[in-house]
Amino acid sequence: MRSSDRIEDDLKDMGVQANMDEMSEEEKIFYMFKAHDNDNNNALDGLEMIQSAMHHNYDYFKKSDRDDYLQNASDELEHFIEAIDKFLLIADENNDGLLHYPEFVKAVAGGKEQLSVEKNLMR
C-alpha cells in the first residue's frame, strides 16, 4: 500500500473525503498532522508519533515471519523511539517534548534541507 493511500484511509477514518492528488502541499501537511493528533491538542506526543510510524510501516510487520515477529517488532520499536527522540531534538523548538503544529509544519515543509543536514550530523 502506498503512503498516499494510507493517508487517504486516515482521512476517511476522520470523516474527510479527499483526493491527495488534488490537495495543496499545505492541506497534505495539515491532514498528516491531524490524522495522528489523537487527543486533538494540536501537538504530537511521543506515543502519537510512535503510533504514526508503526501505522505507516504496517506492511513491514505484516510481511515478517511469525517466528521473528516479536524480535522484529521490538527492534523496530527501538528504532522508532530513537528516530523520534532525534527528530524532537531538532524540531521541538520550545523543548516541551511535544511537536506542536507550527513546529511540525516548519520541520516538514520549511526545514527539509536543514533537518536532513542535522539528522546526518547526529548519526
Q: What is the DSSP string of 52-108?
A: HHHHHTHHHHHHS-TTTHHHHHHHHHHHHHHHHHHHHHHH-TT-SS-EEHHHHHIII
- The cell for 49 is 508519533
Pick the CATH number of 36-122 from 1.10.238.10, 3.30.70.20, 1.20.1330.10, 3.40.630.30: 1.10.238.10
Q: What is the pLDDT of residue 43?
A: 96
Per-residue pLDDT at 121 exceeds 50? no
pLDDT digits (tens, 9 = 90+) for 93-111: 999 999 999 999 998 876 5
Residue 119 per-residue DSSP state = H
Cell numbers at 70, concatenated = 516479536
Q: Report pTM.
A: 0.68
Cα separation, 83 vs 26, whole angstroms = 24
Q: Is the CB of residue 7 less than 8 Å from the CB of residue 20?
A: yes
